[in-house]
Amino acid sequence: MPSQVRVKICGLRTVADVMAASDAGAAYVGFNFFPKSPRYVSPEQARDLAIEVPVGIAKVGLVVNADDALLDRLAEIVPLDMLQLHGAETPERVAQIRARYGLPVIKVLGISGPDDLEAIDRYSLVADQLLVDAKPPKDAVLPGGNGVRFDWSLLARRKYWTKPWMLAGGLTPENVAQAIAQTGAMQVDVASGVESAPGCKDAGLMRAFCAAARGA
Ligand SMILES: O=C(O)c1ccccc1NCC(=O)[C@H](O)[C@H](O)COP(=O)(O)O
């Protein structure tokens, strides 16, 4: 297990975002391929951003219920290190994507109550990592990136995870240390909590977030 908390910053759209995330100490950067997102980048834009990412930082492609056509296109032109599945992908689909593209897969699980925790065991069998996020509000357009947190005490009693996992959902520079202390997370993921406006990353907030997470 890493001695320091690792940070994933999701939804980078510019080279300046990539540089700022890297300078802040992010371990992962995420490119969002969900067209309705304010953080969306095309495969061509992501390719141009990906080549600017320093060696050692993992480049994650975020997709929502993607078909093979999109995934084939990403595999063809974007040098990604991991795929993040942020939709209703079944365990079978996760296994299929993992096998077809030969990339480690992060499966996102939405949590709003104790009943949602069962999925952690089911998806641990097929995914390389899990990302435990808040469920989107009922009327939300986006399945993630809503700045909503869930009840962290739901995870507090879970001591044994068979796969690496990340905590996400409404994390900010102000609350990330408390979230880590309460859940024991060694990896955290953030999108809207380090933005000055939807889709606009803020270098100072990224720095503050990474510093707070590492100091936790
Ligand atoms: O960020 C988006 O716009 C988005 C759109 C569609 C699916 C997922 C999306 N974001 C996923 C993330 O990885 C976020 O970091 C995670 O949901 C937490 O978001 P936030 O609460 O804004 O930090």
Mean pLDDT of 182-205: 97
Q: Is 172 exposed, middle or buried (0-12, 13-18, 19+ CB in 10 A)?
A: middle
pLDDT tens digits along 83-100: 999 999 999 999 999 999
Cα 114 to ligand 1 centroid, rounded to whole Å: 22
Mean pLDDT of 7-22: 98
Residue 190 has pLDDT above 50, yes or no: yes
Superfamily of domain covering 6-214: Aldolase class I (3.20.20.70)
Cα 83 to ligand 1 centroid, rounded to whole Å: 14
Is 64 a pocket residue for ligand 1 (Cβ < 6 Å)? yes
Which positions ≥6 away from 173 have C-beta within 8 Å? Answer: 193, 194, 205, 208, 209, 211, 212
pTM here? 0.96
Two tokens at 177?
Answer: 């240390």
Please list the active-site residues: 10, 133
> For ligand 1, what atom is nearest to the CA of residue 199?
3
Kindly list the domain boundaries of the chain, sorted by start residue.
6-214
> For ligand 1, what atom is nearest to the CA of residue 8?
15
Q: How confident is the model at residue 216 (pLDDT cuts 50, 70, 90)?
A: confident
pLDDT tens digits along 3-13: 699 999 999 99
Residue 1 has pLDDT above 90, yes or no: no
Two tokens at 130?
Answer: 């899990």
Is 110 a pocket residue for ligand 1 (Cβ < 6 Å)? no
